[in-house]
Amino acid sequence: MSSKIAPAKGKLGVMVVGLGAVSTTMIAGVEAVRRGLAKPIGSLTQMGTIRLGKRTDGSSPLIKDFVPLADLKDIVFTGWDIFEDNVYEAAAHAAVLDKDLLKELKPYLETIKPLPAVFDQYYVKRLNGTHVKKGKNKRDLANQVIEDIRAFKKTVDRVVIIWAGSTEIFLEPTAVHQSLEAFEKGLDNSDIGIAPSQIYAYAALSEGVPFANGAPNLTVDAPALIELSKKNSAPICGKDFKTGQTFMKTVLAPAFKARMLGVKGWFSTNILGNRDGEVLDEPQSFKTKEESKLGSLEYIFQPELYPDLYKNIYHKIRINYYPPRGDDKEAWDNIDIFGWLGYPMQIKVDFLCRDSILAAPIALDLVLFLDLAKRTPDLASIGIQEWLSFYLKSPQTAEGLYPEHDLFIQSMKLKNTLRHIMGQDLITHLGLEYYD
């Protein structure tokens, strides 16, 4: 299949919705790496290798040498935000990266200025934006975003859009989300079920541009947007960067299950003090995040198959806004497990992490892999890129298919997808041939 993948020629334009902590950390990081000031730690596309053939073949190229990915030096960034701060100012405000590093990158970062955003405080109660588009209805706003994309397209060769904006209130799909036709009528009537993130997503997919969602908002997780994604061969994937606590959960839970250890309860709490924490302190935005974080255990443990081990697990998630910590989140987990004959044990995890340091390489990888998917006809035409579940708290799947949350299954799926599109044998880990 590899001969069909279009090469990564020319400039890749990356349009970021929301130039906050995660996006500015990604943009500044890419520039630091381009200048040789730092290494792209945490990025599978930049640092990962992939084994090809037998264990005895000794062939493990870098992923970026194996599949035709855009080179970091060919990435051009732009974005939208509800505040006018350029990327230098926004990064300084987010206070994730050292002042010295930011100063060194300042001349570049200052050149990236946000376009006015599509925003409505109804969907993010804690923010009040001033740098916003005005339009007579949601259709008009979508058309303005389409104009932004078209103007940017004139300066680059390909475009990918990623939502790294704030978490919107919890929305469930309604009639307006059931078909493209209904959705487009909803844009005309400014239907309340259509959130700003969906206006950007609609604009992107209408233009055939891949769209990733780093937040837990509904966004492309609805039949209308899936239809548009397929129609225009514009790849989409799941939602909500899998960075800290859920990343740990989807490593530990599969381990317990693999060893048939039972779980009674899993209490997860977080303190964080960045703007994301402030937004998530509001109950309706928290609900969106909570739903996204809750899903993983249920799917991994399959209580219907293992009622003795995993029925009625008490799973609780808390997020508290605690300004002194800034972006340095602390995520605690108390896990009550049980073993042989039902004897109880406890595991405590205390992850002192840095939210945006974990999220930035994920955002970068999603952008690069979605661009690859767009250039790979067999992937572009299917819409949902389930192989990118690896990066997301809420994977997206074909209708009726349960999502895979286990990080190692996700990792294998991702790498086998890359082998598949490059016409290489898949790796099953059977390995009997070594004993012939």
Ligand X SMILES: NC(=O)c1ccc[n+]([C@@H]2O[C@H](COP(=O)([O-])OP(=O)(O)OC[C@H]3O[C@@H](n4cnc5c(N)ncnc54)[C@H](O)[C@@H]3O)[C@@H](O)[C@H]2O)c1
Q: d(Cα 129, Cα 71) in Å, to the nearest integer?
A: 34
Please select the residue that binds ligand X; options are 17, 222, 252, 421, rule is CB under 6 A.
17
In the complex, least distance from residue 309 CB atom to ligand X, rounded to whole angstroms: 29
Site for ligand X in 390-409 (CB under 6 A): none
Binding footprint of ligand X, residue count (CB under 6 A): 34
In the complex, least distance from residue 239 CB atom to ligand X, rounded to whole angstroms: 9
User: Taking CB under 6 A as the rule, does residue 67 contact ligand X?
Assistant: no
In the complex, least distance from residue 374 CB atom to ligand X, rounded to whole angstroms: 22
User: Taking CB under 6 A as the rule, does residue 162 contact ligand X?
Assistant: no
Please select the residue that binds ligand X; options are 328, 355, 365, 406, rule is CB under 6 A.
355
Chain centroid to Cα 228, Å, comes to 20
Complex with ligand X: residue 22 or 67, whichever CB lies closer: 22
Please select the residue that binds ligand X; options are 66, 83, 256, 310, rule is CB under 6 A.
83
Helix %, strand %, coil % of the chain (to 5): 45, 20, 35
Helix (H) or strand (E) holding 253: helix 245-258
- Neighbour tally for 115: CB within 10 Å: 20
Please select the residue that binds ligand X; options are 8, 40, 43, 81, rule is CB under 6 A.
81
Q: Are 144 and 199 in contact (CB under 8 A)?
A: no
Please select the residue that binds ligand X; options are 356, 389, 394, 417, rule is CB under 6 A.
356
Complex with ligand X: residue 310 or 321, whichever CB lies closer: 321
User: Taking CB under 6 A as the rule, does residue 321 contact ligand X?
Assistant: no
Please select the residue that binds ligand X; options are 13, 15, 18, 365, rule is CB under 6 A.
18
DSSP per-residue string spanning 181-230: HHHHHHHHTT-TT--HHHHHHHHHHHTT--EEE-S--STT-SHHHHHHHH
Q: Are 285 and 168 in contact (CB under 8 A)?
A: yes
Complex with ligand X: residue 15 or 309, whichever CB lies closer: 15
Which region holds residue 2: left if phi is over 0, alpha if psi is between -120 and 50, else beta? alpha
User: Taking CB under 6 A as the rule, does residue 118 contact ligand X?
Assistant: yes
Complex with ligand X: residue 46 or 86, whichever CB lies closer: 86
Contact range with ligand X by CB under 6 A, out of 162-170, 180-188, 205-213, 406-414: 162-170
Pairing of strands 262-272, 314-321: parallel
Q: Which residues pair with 337 in a beta bridge?
A: 263, 345
Please select the residue that binds ligand X; options are 5, 8, 12, 19, rule is CB under 6 A.
19
User: Taking CB under 6 A as the rule, does residue 290 contact ligand X?
Assistant: no
DSSP per-residue string spanning 138-172: HHHHHHHHHHHHHHHHTTSSEEEEEE-SPPPPP--
In the complex, least distance from residue 167 CB atom to ligand X, rounded to whole angstroms: 4
User: Taking CB under 6 A as the rule, does residue 271 contact ligand X?
Assistant: no
Complex with ligand X: residue 20 or 383, whichever CB lies closer: 20
Contact range with ligand X by CB under 6 A, out of 115-123, 147-155, 183-191, 415-423: 115-123
Q: Are 289 and 319 in contact (CB under 8 A)?
A: yes
In the complex, least distance from residue 93 CB atom to ligand X, rounded to whole angstroms: 8
Q: How many helices (H) and strands (E) does the chain have?
A: 16, 11
User: Taking CB under 6 A as the rule, does residue 88 contact ligand X?
Assistant: no
For residue 349, how many C-alpha atoms fall within 13 Å in the half-sphere facing its CB? Answer: 20
The closest residue (CB) to ligand X is: 20
Contact range with ligand X by CB under 6 A, out of 19-27, 38-46, 143-151, 305-313: 19-27
User: In 3D, which of 49, 34, 1 has the Cα closest to residue 364?
Assistant: 34
Q: Which residues pair with 394 in a beta bridge?
A: 239
Q: d(Cα 328, Cα 100) in Å, to the nearest integer?
A: 19
Site for ligand X in 206-245 (CB under 6 A): 214-215, 240-241, 243-244
Q: d(Cα 411, Cα 103) in Å, to the nearest integer?
A: 37
Contact range with ligand X by CB under 6 A, out of 3-11, 313-321, 353-361, 425-433: 353-361
User: Taking CB under 6 A as the rule, does residue 161 contact ligand X?
Assistant: no
Binding site for ligand X (CB under 6 A): 17-22, 80-83, 94, 117-119, 124, 127, 164-167, 196, 214-215, 240-241, 243-244, 274-276, 355-356, 358-359
